[in-house]
Chains A and B, each alone.
Chain A
Amino acid sequence: MNGLTTSTHPHRPPALRVENLHTVYRNGAQETSVVRGVSFDVHSGEIVGLVGESGSGKSTVLKSLLDLIGENGQARADVLEVAGQDVRSLPRAEYRRMRGVELAFISQDPANAFNPAWTIGSQFRRVLKRHFPGMSRRELDAWAVELLGAVGIDGRGKLDSYPFQFSQGQLQRIMIALACASERLQVLLADEPTTSLDVTIEAQVLQLIRRLRDERGLAVVLVTHNLAVVAEMCDRVLVMYAGRIVEDAPVRDLFRNPQHPYTRQLLKSIPAFPRDGRRLHTMTGAVPDLSIDVAGCAFAPRCEERISGLCDTIRPVLPPRTERATARAACHVVSGAVPAASGGEGDG
């Protein structure tokens, strides 16, 4: 459904492509559909932001891509391609072996991302052993120090230290070094990588991610709550609402000309600096209950521009990407549809 064209890399296939991803969690008899037909692709060298309110399913999208959904959940997609490989045709164990090799993950909580019982050195060694099977212990340690150096940490003599002996910011950089240790790495999934860090450290870590993208041509998915980070880091932005992507836009367009009413409300809730004297916009209503599937647009109940009789009955879909219109939104108001002319049901 999706043209594979982007302005940046028209020829190569994307490093990550997912189509129609659905993820449900089961809790006893209750099923919650958390991700409801998400499609997107990320090219090498591209940083794609994934934004949306808490509970919109951003982390679940990343976890689904990594096959990290626990036993009480299930993810399925029509297409899942990582580094040009059709992952769905691989045995599950083999796909799981791609994690840490072609595909890496950084979480928002570096303090808990390391096993507290082991030294940093031993956690490096066992990962590096996968990438460089022939290396001796001494070579592995030397390589670990090298990788740490690349993220700005002097690892000499620190390999025998335990995770709790480092600061949050150091741990996040160590995690990035560890996650990106594979020389075949193509896709980096970062889930709010700087949420737990203070502002100066945040800048360092973001800088590091950008450098990795530049030097190694990684395709990066960056989940964040911080729209300033989006503005600074991302090439393209996906806005998620209630398990669906409601807007997909180049970062410039998103800030200059947001399409979806939800995106516009999100932008209005950023404080202006210097203060413009206006009260900060707070979004009304709450994220919808994901265990019920409404017929119309999930945002309609909170939308100030909803067209009654349309928005609450027919679900708007994200139009296919064309080269002409690079920004697109799943919204009847934006597409200027009238009830009779609106397209059929489908996945957004």
Chain B
Amino acid sequence: MSRLIVFRTLFAVPVLFLISVISFGMLRAAPGDPAVLQAGAGASPEAIEAARKQLRLDDSLVEQYFAWFAAVVRGDLGNSYTSGLPVTELIGARLPATVQLSLFALVLIIGIGVPLGVTSALHRNRPYDQLVRVVSLIGISVPNFVIGILLILIFGWWVTGVLPFQGYVPLHENAWENVRHLILPATALAIPEMGLVARLTRSSMLEVLGQEYISSARALGIAERTVIWKDALRNALMPVVTIVGVVTGFLLGGSVVVESVFGIPGLGRLLVESFATRDYPVTIGVMMFIAITFVVINIVVDVLYGVINPRIRLSTRRGAR
């Protein structure tokens, strides 16, 4: 098991390195001059030149990259061009909203998607199943920001006053309002992935229900309830667990848009804001942070999968000896 973790971590290093090089390069290739934005509109050429010097934008791209890289290895993501604050501090300030939003969405995805998939499989080809399949397909096909705008329309125009549709209240200030403010954005973020999870759970459940060991359990007289909710579900969830890592990646990516739509001061919005001002250190800092989080989550999911799957657990244990 520990071997698995070490192996996956080592494998992640070159991947992260590659991501950093690509995003660094693409960012610099994007149009817009941070020095101009930094010096402000209508600034004199001298002021812009001074800003350029200060930001070390005249160095070659490779030099800039290695200066940044050397700092990152020491845990320093640099300072924001605009506010001068350390990037780590900015990320720290914006992290809680994104974490909360993603967790909330994940709870919705699993808490609703899995039961929908299971019940749909149990009512295979009946109207309920067909309904779930159509609805989840629609959920998958509609982008989350469209769902977000739709929700804002509904709750900001037709049924006003029921749920807040803009802004964020920190948890420590008012827990109740915090949750209320997250309901709509989490729903918008969750619906596409929920559809995905429901469909995956359904097909996985159907496959497991057709397995010999299910008939075998029934023939041994095990109660139908146990057969479905224990024998079948546990095995049906294995593939679902493996995609939770991917889903979490989608959530982090999706939050970029959804946070902007719902005015939530999270990492996603920080990314958008920093890019608008060509605040390179912040943009790349957030990107790297999201990439690392994604990699770590996927390692955790792989390890978890090993824990619930005895075949993998035992073979890696044997391999470690």
Contacts and interface: CB of A to CB of B under 8 A. Distances in A.
Interface of A: 63, 66, 68, 71, 96-101, 104-105, 107, 109, 112-117, 119, 126-127, 130, 162, 164-165, 175, 178-179
Contacts of A113: 212-213, 216
A115 B235 contact: yes
A243 B309 CA distance: 41
B220 A179 contact: yes
6 contacts: A99-B221, A100-B219, A112-B211, A113-B213, A127-B221, A162-B310
A117 B234 contact: yes
A275 B257 CA distance: 77
A114 B222 CA distance: 13
B231 interface: yes
A127 B311 contact: no
Given A117-B235, A179-B220, A71 B212 contact: no
A100 B211 contact: no
A178 B221 CA distance: 11
Given A105-B216, A127-B221, 20 more contacts: A66-B218, A66-B219, A68-B219, A98-B221, A99-B219, A104-B220, A105-B219, A112-B211, A112-B212, A113-B213, A113-B216, A114-B216, A116-B235, A117-B234, A117-B309, A119-B310, A126-B226, A164-B311, A165-B314, A178-B220
A68 B218 contact: yes
A204 B311 CA distance: 28
Contacts of A117: 234-235, 308-310
Nearest to A98: B221
A96 B224 contact: yes
A109 B211 CA distance: 11
Nearest to B209: A70
A126 B221 CA distance: 10
A63 B219 CA distance: 9
B213 A112 contact: yes
A127 B220 contact: yes
B235 A162 contact: no
Contacts of A126: 222, 226
B71 interface: no
Interface string B127-141: 000000000000000
Given A71-B124, A126-B222, A115 B310 contact: no
Contacts of A105: 216, 219-220
B215 interface: yes
A119 B212 CA distance: 17
Contacts of A99: 218-221
Contacts of B153: none
Nearest to B309: A117
Given A68-B219, A179-B220, A107 B212 contact: yes
B93 interface: no
Contacts of B314: 162, 165
Contacts of A98: 221
B217 interface: yes
A130 B217 CA distance: 13
B221 A107 contact: no
Given A71-B124, A162-B314, A179 B219 contact: yes
A249 to B, nearest CB: 29
Most chain A Cβ neighbours within 10 Å, of B124, B216, B235: B216
Given A96-B224, A113-B213, A104 B219 contact: yes
A101 B217 contact: no
A130 B221 contact: yes
B220 A116 contact: no
A109 B212 CA distance: 8
Interface string B279-303: 0000000000000000000000000
Contacts of B124: 71
Contacts of B218: 66, 68, 96, 99
Contacts of A114: 213, 216
Nearest to A67: B218
Interface in B215-263: 215-222, 224, 226, 231, 234-235
Contacts of B211: 112
A97 B219 CA distance: 9
A288 B288 CA distance: 65
A162 B315 CA distance: 12
Contacts of A104: 219-220
Nearest to B234: A117
A206 to B, nearest CB: 20
Kindly name the residue among B213, B224, B231 whose own CB sees the greatest number of chain A CB atoms within 10 A: B213
Interface string B179-216: 00000000000000000000000000000000111011
Contacts of B235: 115-117
B315 to A, nearest CB: 10
Contact of B213 (A63, A66, A115): A115
Contacts of B212: 107, 109, 112-113
Q: Which of A104, A107, A117 has its CB near the most chain B CB atoms (within 10 A)?
A: A117
B215 A107 contact: yes
B308 to A, nearest CB: 7
Contacts of B309: 117
For the complex of A and B, the 9 pairs showing the least CB-CB separation, nearest first, are A100-B221, A105-B219, A112-B212, A100-B220, A99-B221, A113-B216, A162-B310, A115-B213, A109-B212
Interface string B310-321: 110010000000
B282 to A, nearest CB: 46
B29 to A, nearest CB: 50
A97 B218 CA distance: 9
A100 B222 CA distance: 8
B286 to A, nearest CB: 40
Nearest to A131: B221
